[in-house]
Structure 1
Amino acid sequence: MNELTLTTPTLLFSAVSLILLAYTNRFLSYAQLVRTLKEQYVKEHSEVTAAQIANLRKRLYLTRNMQVLGISSLFFCVITMFLIYIGLHALSVYVFGFAILLLIASLGLSIWEIQISVKALEIHLQDMEN
């Protein structure tokens, strides 16, 4: 195995930063959707709106967990860079591996959240068909 240098975690650092930006944008759109659904639900207690609210709740929690795992991955990337800087190369390899595992978990939750989002759109499409 090649020696881990500062360049490797730096590359992951920039990728995770972009992913976190996407997660934040997703979260902000959910916040707006929650406000809209609340107004709809107050006016009319429909089954479709109730289903959307339940679906959105799952998506919000998944997005929060995606963000936590992504931020944790970024945190351990920074720790990896510090460990390389102070010369603890053996430890830095394990910490960097852990950061990659956290990123994988975050991306896995993202896939799950996308599948739930598709179900939310299916609820709208079924409502329009009826």
Structure 2
Amino acid sequence: MITITTPALLFSAISLIMLAYTNRFLALASLVRSLHAKYLEHNQSGVIHGQIQNLRYRLQLIKYMQTYGVLSFVSCVICMFFIFMNWLFWAEMLFGLSLIFFTISLIISLIEIQKSTKALELELSSMEKTK
């Protein structure tokens, strides 16, 4: 049987992961701004074009990470309301849905981390070529 404390435990995890996602977004936004300045200075660099493509993809991933994180949070809130109303079947279904959304968000986060390391490898390879 599900109690009000079950989805409440997920609240802190979802809140922390959303904070981490926001921090990743802010870091990416800063990177885009600095890349824009580099682009204006060195308009013909192939490395910058590769980074731009990578950043566009990562921005999409972060958008989806945050979307599924918010869906998980909303499902959890509605689940708690359903528990309060004693609609336990629907509460359990929503809690399961919340866990699924949370899992999808984490998987997308893993993909974004992989793309992030590829962007750093691209940057390192460009520095090695200039030696």
TM band (smaller chain): over 0.9
| Alignment partner, residue 23 of structure 1 | 21
**What is the count of residue pairs matched by the alignment?**
128
Local SS of the residue matching 1:111 = helix
| Alignment partner, residue 34 of structure 2 | 36
Percent same amino acid among aligned pairs? 48
- d(CA) in 2 for partners of 1:32, 1:124: 16
How far off its partner does 1:25 sit? Answer: 0.5
Residue 54 in structure 1 maps to residue 53 in structure 2: yes
| Alignment partner, residue 120 of structure 1 | 119
- Name segments (4+ residues, structure 1) moved above 6 Å: none
User: Which 5+ residue runs of structure 1 have no aligned equivalent?
Assistant: none
> Any residues of structure 2 matched to 1:1-130 within 5 Å, and which?
3-45=1-43, 46-130=45-129
Local SS of the residue matching 2:68 = helix
- The one-character-per-residue Cα deviations of 1:26-85 (angstroms, maximum 9, x if unpaired) are 001111111111111111121111111110111111001000000110000000000000
Q: Tell me which amino acid in the other structure corresponds to 1:29.
A: A
- d(CA) in 2 for partners of 1:116, 1:30: 12
How far off its partner does 1:87 sit? Answer: 0.6
How far off its partner does 1:125 sit? Answer: 1.1
How far off its partner does 1:128 sit? Answer: 1.2
- d(CA) in 2 for partners of 1:114, 1:42: 27
TM-score (norm 1): 0.97
Could you say what the CA RMSD is over the residues aligned between the two structures, in angstroms? 0.6
- d(CA) in 1 for partners of 2:13, 2:66: 14
TM-score (norm 2): 0.96
